[in-house]
């Protein structure tokens, strides 16, 4: 296992993450893989071999700016979450319940239902056990976040907003 951030990742999970990384990047080098996944050059070479063995259309470019290219974009399998990631997402969704309205016209119940439907049976049972043993107490939001969506969309679209504050008495 090798570190990825502060978490140790199994080789199979790293290969899956690497596949997504190179599918997005198209052109990459050993240094890119070493930096992104915090692995040695030797491990990067073994991982590239593993990717080729599972059918990733990778070819080497021998030039001054060499490296590797993905011949064409691959159809990737659906994203799967580790149990730790599932728990983190579940607890983050619990925090959403304290909002009286969510940006982007979505409801907590819609997100929660889709989330639960995508879990494995054992992960779903883990969430049910959490729900039976942990109670979340939410403080009701005093004011609506009526401008939150505008702020988030501006950030997504790289737009500058002018905000005027008014003193409330």
For 4-29, the DSSP string reads ETTEEE-HHHHHHHHHHHHHHHSEE-
Name the H helices within the chain. Answer: 11-25, 30-37, 41-53, 83-96, 108-117, 121-133, 148-156
> What tens-digit pLDDT sequence spans the chain (169 residues)?
445 443 456 787 788 888 888 888 878 888 899 999 999 999 999 998 998 888 888 888 887 777 888 776 665 556 667 788 888 888 888 777 766 666 666 666 777 787 888 788 888 888 888 888 877 776 666 566 677 778 878 887 888 988 888 887 7
d(C-alpha 52, C-alpha 54), whole Å: 5
Q: What is the pTM of this model?
A: 0.46
Among all chains, which residue has been given the structure tokens 């570190």? 3
The DSSP letter of residue 105 is G
């Amino acid at each position: 296992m090798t570190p990825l951030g502060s978490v140790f990742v199994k080789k199979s999970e790293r290969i899956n993450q690497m596949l997504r990384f190179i599918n997005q990047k198209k052109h990459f080098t050993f240094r890119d893989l070493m930096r992104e996944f915090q692995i040695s050059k030797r491990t990067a070479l073994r991982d590239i071999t593993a990717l080729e063995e599972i059918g990733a259309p990778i070819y080497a470019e021998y030039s001054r700016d060499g490296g590797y290219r993905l011949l064409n974009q691959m159809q990737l399998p659906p994203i799967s979450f580790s149990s730790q990631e599932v728990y983190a997402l579940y607890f983050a969704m619990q925090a959403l319940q304290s909002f009286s309205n969510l940006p982007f016209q979505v409801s907590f119940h819609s997100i929660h239902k889709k989330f639960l439907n995508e879990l494995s049976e054992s992960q779903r049972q883990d969430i049910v056990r959490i729900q039976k043993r942990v109670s979340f107490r939410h403080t009701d939001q005093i004011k609506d976040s009526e401008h939150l969506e505008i702020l988030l969309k501006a950030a997504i679209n790289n737009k500058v907003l002018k905000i005027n504050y008014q003193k409330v008495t």
